Structure 1
Amino acid sequence: MNEQLDTLEPTALWRHFRTFCDTPRPSGQEEAIIGKIVDWAEQRGLTCERDDTGNLLVRKPATPGHENAPGVILQSHVDMVAQAASGHDHDFTRDALDTFVEDGWLHARGTTLGADNGVGAAAALAILGESSLTHGPLEALFTVEEEASLVGARYLQKDWLSGHYLLNLDSESRGEVYIGCAGGNDVKVDHDFTLVAPGEGQTALSLSVSGLVGGHSGMDIDKGRANANVLLCACLWSLRDTGLQLISLDGGTMRNAITRDARAVFLVPEAARRLVTETVAAFQTREALLYEGVDDGLVLSVEDGEAAQAMTMEDSRKLLAVLTAMPYGIDRMSQTVPGIAESSNNIGVLRLENGHLHLGAMVRALRLESAEAINERFRALFSLIDVEAIAGEGYPGWAPQADSPLLARFLALHERELGREAEVKVIHAGLECGIIGAHYPGLDMISFGPTILGAHSPTERVELAAVEEFYALLKAMVTDLA
């Protein structure tokens, strides 16, 4: 599997990426890929160190004569978002990804590709393996659990890195360079509700939302895409007068992915079955118009479900009112960085099982004050039903530094190498630069990468020509800094 990756250019990068595709690496299960990187590096005489969080640092001495050049850190994360298309059977803890090339883009069949950030990590390894490249002291930092609240960066060992410049390889747009990003925090709700047995004359129905595009909760939150958890709750709220009692909710697996599919099972009186079907059909007609041209594949369907203990009618109604009123999407636009969201929220995970409710939301903001404003809205909403919403510890954004010497070097090199200017950007997503910068305030940092579309969804793909250009730029940048 994935043999075609060995035929792509640049050869060294794609061969490393094949290793990433062949090795399961969902967030929290990176030991296998880290072990392969260590084996490869030690065979080449490179120094490898792990910190207590599991992050890996690989060091390579400077080319002779360039020992006094400023040290360069190549930074990427090795984990990936594990998302499979509806109905596609894939075990991300065991199965290799199945990649294919189509029209100049690399895809994975039925799953996320892991180009975010596997291509960046593969590029760092390819640089370490270049025998003819002139460079100063190099460090390659491979972090873990980036997709799970940036764990590796948050608990990165202090006094560990020695480089002066950091090149983050986790951006996803060719021709752009990033100098700032959003911070944020998670919001979690965990609460147990009282359950009652099904009553006489009640029937169980299943409501599902499917066919959505989904995407990255930072990169794609401004595209107006539907979130299956949000639509599911809104549709259930429209059924509030049918005598509905919730049995279960099941939507999403990652806080930072816009949920594509969700399902609910509930009880209603048998006599309300027709009203449920008609109300759901009317709801779909309305939402299809609202998401026309954005989520044209939206499907809501009602089927028979399996009867079980359910929440009371009163608790179901109250909970659905709160879930329907939750903030979602862009909250406000930045006044200091035109065209960029100041704050947003994604309802990534929604689960109700055996009376236990679990909600996982991801709040992003350029300023932590903006995130706190959204956190307070969650707290206020859930307090109405005596349920606690807990905002996790926030992580800092990356404040833009337009006068960065590293940025100036990159812009000049980009124009010289490619004959065109790079666009300087701030991104509404959580790059690790903000957190690493808090640990190492003297670092000069930029972020760049190839074009990746559909990250955090099964439509994820990376442009082959952009990867070739990205790697050429990276090599030129490393040499220029030496």
Structure 2
Amino acid sequence: MAKEIISLQPEIVWKHFYALTQIPRPSKSEEKIEQFMAKFGRDLGLETLIDEVGNVIIRKPATLGMEKCKGLVLQGHLDMVPQKNSDTKHDFITDPIDAYIDGDWVTARGTTLGADNGMGVAAIMAVLESKNLVHGPIEALLTSDEETGMTGAFGLKAGLLKGDILMNLDSEDEGELYVGCAGGVDANISFNYKEEVVPAGHAAYKLTVKGLKGGHSGLEIILGRGNSNKLMFRFFRHASKEHGLRIASVDGGSLRNAIPRESFAVVTVPSAQAEKFETCVVKYQAIYKKELSLVEPDLSFTVQKTDLPKSVIENSVATKITNAIYGCPNGVIRMSDAMPGLVETSTNLARVFSSDGKLIIQCLLRSSVDSAKDDLSEMVSSVFELAGANVQLSGGYPGWKPDMNSTILTHMKSVYNKLYGRVPEVKAIHAGLECGLLGGVYPNWDMISFGPTIRFPHSPDEKVNIASVAMFWNYLVETLKSIPQK
């Protein structure tokens, strides 16, 4: 399949994208891709450095006659979200991505593809490598750990870069220009619990919620997809009251910025309730499938007998945990008044897991309004603090306020119209682009974000539209030719 992918047009972009799929680069494990990119820059004879937080910076001089143009910073992130289906054998630390062509798209077998943000990085590599493009002074800023903490953007030092314009290549709809994004904050919640002996006369079961689509917790939260953690604890609340359910362990979701697709639990119930309990699972699967039939056609909620666990979570704490998770806000909280159709504020109850006397919950809260983000943080905190949990808010990052008078926005609207005969849509995005943080370090930057069409990022269904990559590349090339002068 390598030959087919690197033969796609434009080859100069696709060959680099395929090369990126062969280098494991999950968030927090980016040493290989950082060294690969540094070698790439140095092999081209370009000034290259890696800063103290793992950002790779590569500088390419202006082509002849373009020296007076404003300096351009092309920016993308090196890491990818490591998501796979439960039946897919894949180690993101060691294994390459198995990419293939599926009709008009490139996707991967059972895992995320890494088009987010591999396509943007590949385009930057193509610009750096090309000897035929016309452009002003260019700096490539390839940031680390964007997906799990924006570590590279947080750690970027002022004065390191010289450019005037930032082009972020991390948007996911060709023909759209993004001029604003939401800020976010992580809610890290923990309950301490004691383990109790499994009550006498209990039978054990494994519960599984799976088949959900998941996806990007910013871009796709508006679609109303199911949250496997919320579905699991909704059932817990009912079954605890009606059938004496006890929780032994739970493991739901995987990443704070991905809508949880799968949740697993081991529970016990009195043997006298076993038949009714099994019937109740079937009943709730029917309820969930009816409620979510259009958005989650493959949803399943199943029960299977299993061996008795060594212990269960103490019941008083399990009740508090169940009630708090069941009552925790999740999904879209408010739509934007300023930009119709845009989510303003949302939250994703992303991760729930128990281990060694602790139950950990991770949520990612987003809003384009800082006061609304603060309000949502307090709302979520209050629910869990009432239940006796420890709540820590961390990793907060600002949003990016739109500037509709931006010079680069005006320029790129004109270029797109000349190239494709229509004016691109101008939007803000309910996701955490690095522009908000980077603009805080370099307040002089005129910023914009664009990219090819990518669907279902942060999930194993991720795919990139082949035709859109060519349009995205041609647009970038034409824009480079006419960057305004200083």
Residue 283 of structure 2: aligned partner: 282
- Structure 1 outlier segments of 4+, above 4 Å: none
Provide TM-score, normalisation by structure 1: 0.98
Q: Deviations along 1:116-165, whole A, 9 cap, x unmatched?
A: 00000000010111101111110000001000121111111221111111
Paired position in structure 2 for 1:96: 96
Paired position in structure 2 for 1:261: 262
Matched, 1:362 2:369: no
CA distance in 2 between partners of 1:357 and 1:429 (Å): 27
Q: Do structure 1's residue 149 and structure 2's residue 149 form an aligned pair?
A: yes
Pairwise CA distance, 1:210: 0.6
Q: How does 1:331-350 map to 2 (within 5 A)?
A: 331-350=333-352
Distance, in Å, in 2 between the alignment partners of 1:36 and 1:471 is: 22
In 1, the alpha carbon distance for the partners of 2:301 and 2:43 equals: 54
Q: CA deviation at 1:86?
A: 2.3
CA distance in 1 between partners of 2:160 and 2:230 (Å): 43
62-71 vs 169-178, greater mean Cα deviation: 62-71
2:377 counterpart of 1:375? yes
- Contact 1:243/1:313 (<8 A) preserved: no
Indicate the larger mover: 331-340 or 410-419: 331-340
Distance in 2 (CA, whole Å) between partners of 1:163 and 1:305 is: 60
Counterpart residue type for residue 189 of structure 1: I
Rounded Cα–Cα distance in structure 2 between residues aligned with 1:279 and 1:257: 29
After TM superposition, the score normalised by the length of structure 2 is: 0.97
Contact map agreement 2:38 2:50 (CA 8 A) in 1: no
Amino acid paired to 2:145: E
Instruction: Give, in whole Å, the separation in 1 of the partners of 2:280 and 2:132.
Output: 67
The Cα of 1:6 is off from its aligned counterpart by 1.8
1:395-406, aligned counterparts within 5 Å? 395-406=397-408
Per-residue displacement from partner, 1:269-325 (whole Å, max 9, x unpaired)?
111212211222221211211111100111000112332211122222221111111
Amino acid at match of 1:225: R
- Separation in 2, partners of 1:319, 1:212: 23
**1:374-393 to 2 correspondences below 5 Å:** 374-393=376-395
Q: AA paired with 2:21? A: C
For the residues of structure 2 that align with 1:323 and 1:449, how far apart are their CA atoms? 36
Moved more, 155-164 or 175-184: 155-164
Measured after TM superposition, the shift of residue 208 of structure 1 is 0.7
Aligned twin of 2:231:
231
Q: Distance in 2 between matches of 1:274 and 1:391?
A: 43
Tell me the equivalent position of 1:293. 294
Aligned residue for 2:127, secondary structure, equals: helix
Match of 1:258, SS state, is: coil
1:425 is matched with 427
Q: Secondary structure at the match of 1:215?
A: coil
2-structure distance, mates of 1:81, 1:301:
27
Whether the 8 Å CA contact 2:191–2:321 is kept in 1: the answer is: no
Deviations 1:227-250, CA, capped at 9 Å, x for gaps: 111111111111112222211110
Deviation at 1:204, TM superposition (A): 1.5
1:243 and 2:244 are equivalent in the alignment: yes
Residue of 458, 464, 467 corresponding to 2:466:
464
User: Are residues 1:270 and 2:293 paired?
Assistant: no
SS of 2:273's partner is: helix
Structure 2 residue 209 is matched with structure 1 residue 205:
no
2:186 is aligned to 186
* CA apart distance, 1:355: 2.4
Post-superposition offset of 1:69 = 1.1
* Structure 1 position 348, deviation (Å): 1.2
How far apart in 1 are the matches of 2:269 and 2:373? 38
- Out of 464, 474, 477, the residue aligned to residue 475 of structure 1 is 477
Give the whole-Å Cα distance in 1 for the aligned partners of 2:370 and 2:310.
Answer: 43
Q: Does 1:303 align with 2:304?
A: yes
Q: Which runs of 5+ in 1 are unaligned?
A: none
Whichever residue aligns with residue 90 of structure 1, its letter is H
Aligned counterpart, 1:135? 135
CA contact (8 A) 1:252 1:350 kept: yes
- Counterpart AA for 1:51: D
SS in 1 for 2:451: coil
Q: Whole-Å Cα distance in 1 between the matches of residues 186 and 223 of structure 2?
A: 21
Comparing 301-310 with 99-108, greater Cα deviation is found at 301-310
Aligned equivalent of 1:24: 24
- Superposition CA RMSD, Å: 1.1
Q: How many residues align?
A: 482
Contact 1:2-1:98 within 8 A present in 2 as well? no
Q: Is contact 2:191-2:388 (8 Å) kept?
A: no
Could you tell me how far apart the structure 2 residues matched to 1:61 and 1:384 are? 58
**Do residues 11 (structure 1) and 14 (structure 2) align?**
no
Runs of 5+ consecutive residues of structure 2 not aligned to the other structure: none
Q: 1:238 is paired with a residue of what secondary structure?
A: helix
Deviates more, 1:370-379 or 1:453-462: 370-379
| Alignment-derived partner of residue 196 in structure 2 | 196
Q: Which moved more, 1:423-432 or 1:186-195?
A: 186-195
Give the drift of 1:226: 0.4
Asked if 2 retains the 8 angstrom alpha-carbon contact of 1:120 and 1:449, the reply is: yes
SS of equivalent to 2:397 = coil
Q: Secondary structure at the match of 1:265?
A: strand
Q: Structure 1 counterpart of 2:250, which letter?
A: L
C-alpha separation in 1, matches of 2:40 and 2:300: 47
The whole-number CA distance in structure 2 between the counterparts of 1:215 and 1:89 is 20
The amino acid across from 1:206 in the alignment is K
Alignment of 1:73-84 (within 5 A): 73-84=73-84
1:45-124 correspondence to structure 2 within 5 Å: 45-124=45-124
SS across alignment from 1:213: coil
Deviations 1:325-355 (A, max 9, x none): 1110001111222221111000111101232
Separation of aligned partners in 1, 2:78 and 2:40: 15
- 1:2 deviates by 2.7
Write the distance in 2 (CA, Å) between the matches of 1:393 and 1:43. 36
Q: Tell me by how many angstroms 1:183 deviates.
A: 0.4
Q: Are the counterparts in 2 of residues 310 and 355 from structure 1 also a CA contact under 8 Å?
A: no
CA distance in structure 2 between the aligned counterparts of 1:393 and 1:265, rounded to whole angstroms: 32
* In 1: Cα distance, 2:69 partner to 2:404 partner: 23
1: CA distance, partners of 2:73 / 2:118 = 17
